[in-house]
Amino acid sequence: MSEHVLAEVRGGLGILTLDRPRALNSLDLGMVLALERHLLEWADAPEVRAVVVRGGERGLCAGGDVRALFRGSDADAVRFWTEEYRLNALIGRYPKPYLPLMDGITMGGGLGISAHAPRASGSVRVVTERTLVSMPETRIGFTPDVGMSLLLANAPGELGTHLCLTSGQAGGADAILLGWADAMVPSERLDELVDALAEASSALASSALAGAEGGRGAEGGQPSWAYDVVASFAVEPPPAALAGGREWIDDAYAGESAAEIAARLAELAAGGSAASEAAGAALAGLRKMCPFSVAVTLAALRRSPKLGSLEAVLAQDLALGEALIARSDFREGVRALLIDKDGAPAWEPSLIEDVDPEEVAAAFEPRPSVPA
């Protein structure tokens, strides 16, 4: 078990707390295995009616520990992703209400342990006014993984495409708009919320309703007791910042190739419209990302909704991970952003227009499926 995952049962509530503050709760292999073990144990424990996952002062989780992947072997990276994606799949089909508290920084793998929580089991994904969500993988020569290409593709219009190609950041209201969260609760009330969930779950366990619900949430995605508890703390989110740019974003990111998108952003930037400044900023950001990663990410977004299940998307993620870890871009991106911090990665190729479509297609060649 990992010293960075704290587990307790309070009333009928299982509480998992990520406790690696110096690394912003970045997930290492031990943490992934500990989370999986507790979730499997609690799934079959009649005294546990729901599970909360929370982080610390600065956020829930900043993603996978890419510094460790940088230092390790390719095989180490593939093992980590295999176990991480198994955890994501488990969360996506968890049979009891699963409530991630996405307070503060929630990026990459942090979204993988949050955004897939299924409404069918009565799960509720909670954000706060401090929430900062992002899938920043194109910045380090990788691609949005942990099944998030499916949720990015299913976001309204091309908002998900815009965010992930540019490694953009968004707030809690945006997370609700994107379909990654369900309710906003003030951060100062999260401890009260956890206490209320523990009290309600304890009462449920001792009531006649326990036999009816069996701790399995609500079938068909209907609100459960956990949803009702969260609703009593929830506030109306402010307007989502992304919504204001929907028109130009849908226009710019509708292309089937990264080069087409870059060209359309350039046209909009030069057009003198109300969207010109925003499009120009998006283009400048896109040009800083890893060109091969941008091309692979766009292809993954277009493919993922056709794959039919979260497990199939995670299998695609593993194939892409194996392909990308074998290239120079990933370690070069981590070096430039997190190790040497010079901000000057040498991408190969250096321009989106020079990416070979055949190399992009080859990255999707079938690999073994993620174990169920």
* Spatial distance between the Cα atoms of 141 and 363, rounded to a whole number of angstroms: 13
Closest CA to 297 of 265, 329, 270: 329
Tokens representing 91?
Answer: 């969360």
* Marked catalytic residue, from 64, 92, 112, 333: 64
Tell me how far apart the alpha carbons of residues 318 and 79 are, in angstroms, rounded to a whole number: 10
Is 109 among the catalytic positions? yes
Q: Can you read off the two tokens belonging to residue 173? A: 């209201």
Strands (E), the chain: 5-10, 13-18, 50-54, 59-61, 98-102, 105-107, 126-127, 132-134, 169-171, 183-184
Active-site option among 28, 145, 311, 317: 145
Neighbours of 284 (CB within 10 A): 12
**SS3 helix, strand, coil % of the chain, rounded to 5?**
55, 10, 35
Annotation marks residue 19 as catalytic: no
CA separation for the pair 79, 64 (Å, rounded): 13
Q: Establish whether 145 is a catalytic residue.
A: yes
The C-alpha atoms of residue 236 and residue 4 are separated, in whole angstroms, by 33
Q: Dihedral angle at the C-alpha atoms of 105, 107, 109, 110, nearest 10 degrees?
A: 30
Tokens of 279: 């499009």
Element of type H or E holding 78: helix 74-92
Distance CA 248, CA 257 (A): 17
Given the residues 12, 108, 109, 321, select the one marked as catalytic: 109
Sign of CA dihedral 265, 266, 272, 276: positive
Contact yes or no for 169/139 (Cβ under 8 A): no
Choose the catalytic residue: 137, 174, 213, 332. Answer: 137
Tell how far CA 231 is from the center of its chain.
23
**Residues in contact with 120: Cβ distance below 8 Å, sequence separation at least 6, in sequence order:** 217, 218, 219, 220, 221
Which sequence positions are flagged as catalytic? 64, 109, 137, 145
